[in-house]
Amino acid sequence: MIAAGAGTAAGLAGGFWWWNRPRLEHAGLPPVRDPAFPNPLPLPGSDGMFGVLDVAGTVAIAAKSARHAMLPGKPARMLAYEVQHEGRKLLNPVLRVRAGATLRANLWNTLDEATIIHWHGLKVDANNDGHPHYAIAGGRTYDYQYTVLNRAATYWYHPHAHGTTGKQLYLGLASLFIVEDDEELALQRALDLRVGVSDIPLMIQDKDFDVSGTPAYAPDAEQRASGYFGREVLINLAPRPYFDAATRIYRFRILNGSNARIYRLAFRSGERLLDYRVIATDGGLLDRPYRTKEVFLSSGERVEVLLDLRAAREGDTVWLTSRAFDPMHQETGPGAHPGHGAAPDPQPQAGEHGMAHHGAAPAPQSAAQSGSLPDGAAVDLLRINVAAKVRYDRPVPATLAEIVPLDAKQGASRKFLLQREQGQWRINGLTFRMMETPIVVRRGATEIWEIRNSERSMPHPMHIHGFQFQMLSRSGSPEQQRQLAVNAQGLASADLGWKDTVLVWPGETVRLALDFTHPFNGDQVYLFHCHNLEHSDEGMMINIKVLA
């Protein structure tokens, strides 16, 4: 196993399977490219797409139409956030900020429709949150100014105008917002982690394209109900990417930036699933690394993992893959759509079927989506070529951060039911009303939220603005989730630490502890919504007012 191993012993004993595999090539020759994964993974550099911008002060961001080749050789129109900074032009910059810094961001909307930026995961006041109420028309600007109160983590930013969030994000508007603090910098030093080199952001999105290479977003009524699924899965806007790695430990900061698709993330070598370590979730580092072979990651969620390639050999290949799972589209009753479940894992027959590497999928969900990659289908995401042997003898820290459990026992308990009624996804029977605030919370209150997803439903990734929460338990979970539990409360490693988005499966109940303490004066209005963006655009979203 290629586990994030405990030093040399694990490397030798656990690495046994590596030695018995035939060498793919001789050391020193260039790596063999899998023709089905021919595109270099775009890595954050100093400019261009996903360039890293260290923000200390003011940043001017234009939401605009840009030209970029997502499909190789097919430059086409997309939407992007553009920043011009000291002679550099960055598109969808990875913004990197020190905890405690004060940020001024000026958004200029050059689109021909309204937009606004939501800073996903950040503890900011309502004026700075990017609630759709603050969306600005084309030609207008919006000034943000806030202090970064969050701890270090991989947050992100994306549009949030009501009714068009799914479309604008799908057309390209999204990137990461990395917060660093002393704890985080200590980890970077301990493991020699550098963003874009050994600390690799992976924004996973599925898209469809028209013949010109332009992302095509045109959900019909059924796709608005289920979510919009594309047939190509891209990482950092590149389809079928590869990454040349060395024999060392890598950190992957994985964001599910897809509109609706859930991934069951695993690393595999051949058919063998590899151990890796979960070190952080939405709101930053966990108390310690957790060893696992897979995690579920739903729209909006982040997970950070360590992959230990020390026992690998030059020429070896490791795949980041999404394993088949039951997508549980049970809107018409439990067990509906039996054709969806348990698709076979992808066979690593590289190059044999070209585009059809997605072809191991089960039957399409519907006539409307035929030809697409069905929800829950197995799909390879990233080919990792072990291309260089290096010396690397840094141990994985046994502890990462202190997570103080929220004491919510005295707090009020609030129940939420997710279900489809009268042709719409609803939260406690409600759909979005811009000016109504059905949930009212007192600032400083600690509450327990119990979110139950009905049986006749589908998975909903539920996101709250303005606050991070701690998960207390999962119950009624499907087996594919239950088997990942690391504690008696049914929580998986990806449920630990601080979170802002939680996947709730049909029939499942999750309990969260929330602390509504914040330093902002006056009433503040935030959102609680499904991060399946077709669901939220259709109104699966309610306001929360936090009273001063």
Residues that bind Cu ion (CB under 5 A): 460, 530, 532, 535
Measure Cα distances from 145 to 106, 125, 127, 164 in Å.
9, 10, 9, 24
Tell me the closest approach of the beta carbon of residue 531 to Cu ion, in angstroms.
7
Residue placing its CB nearer to Cu ion in the complex, 150 or 453: 453
**By 3-state DSSP, what share of the chain in percent is helix, strand and coil, each rounded to 5?**
10, 40, 50
Residue placing its CB nearer to Cu ion in the complex, 213 or 300: 300
Measure Cα distances from 44 to 96, 97, 380, 458, 465 in Å.
11, 15, 22, 35, 27
Residue placing its CB nearer to Cu ion in the complex, 115 or 299: 299
Tell me the closest approach of the beta carbon of residue 528 to Cu ion, in angstroms.
12
Question: What's the CA gap between 373 and 340, in Å, rounded?
Answer: 11
Residue placing its CB nearer to Cu ion in the complex, 317 or 501: 501
Residue placing its CB nearer to Cu ion in the complex, 158 or 460: 460
Tell me the closest approach of the beta carbon of residue 154 to Cu ion, in angstroms.
22
Residue placing its CB nearer to Cu ion in the complex, 280 or 530: 530
How many angstroms separate the most distant Cα atoms in the chain? Answer: 66
Tell me the closest approach of the beta carbon of residue 532 to Cu ion, in angstroms.
4
Torsion on CA atoms 536, 537, 538, 544, rounded to nearest 10: 50
Residue with tokens 């990461």: 176
Q: How far apart are the first and last CA of the chain?
A: 53
Residue placing its CB nearer to Cu ion in the complex, 169 or 530: 530
Q: Is 67 exposed, middle or buried (0-12, 13-18, 19+ CB in 10 A)?
A: exposed
Tell me the closest approach of the beta carbon of residue 259 to Cu ion, in angstroms.
11
Amino acid at residue number 419: Q
Question: What's the CA gap between 261 and 204, in Å, rounded?
Answer: 10
Closest-approach residue to Cu ion (CB): 530
Output the DSSP codes for 377-405. Answer: --EEEEEEEEEE-----PPPPS-----PP
Helix (H, G, I), strand (E, B) or coil at 141: strand
Tell me the closest approach of the beta carbon of residue 493 to Cu ion, in angstroms.
23
Q: What DSSP state is assigned to residue 170?
A: H
Tell me the closest approach of the beta carbon of residue 337 to Cu ion, in angstroms.
17
Tell me the closest approach of the beta carbon of residue 230 to Cu ion, in angstroms.
17
Alpha helices in 412-482 (DSSP H): 479-482
Facing residues of 68 across strands?
Answer: 76
Tell me the closest approach of the beta carbon of residue 136 to Cu ion, in angstroms.
27
Residue placing its CB nearer to Cu ion in the complex, 259 or 532: 532
Round the CA-based radius of gyration of the chain to a whole number and report it: 22
Q: What tokens appear for 539 in the block? A: 């109104």
Contacts of residue 209, Cβ cutoff 8 Å, sequence gap at least 6: 70, 71, 74, 76, 215, 216, 232
Q: What tokens appear for 436 in the block? A: 């109504």
Residue placing its CB nearer to Cu ion in the complex, 115 or 457: 457
Residue placing its CB nearer to Cu ion in the complex, 164 or 532: 532
Question: What's the CA gap between 472 and 474, in Å, rounded?
Answer: 7
Helix (H, G, I), strand (E, B) or coil at 143: strand
Residue placing its CB nearer to Cu ion in the complex, 277 or 329: 329
Tell me the closest approach of the beta carbon of residue 216 to Cu ion, in angstroms.
22
Tell me the closest approach of the beta carbon of residue 260 to Cu ion, in angstroms.
8
Question: What's the CA gap between 360 and 343, in Å, rounded?
Answer: 7
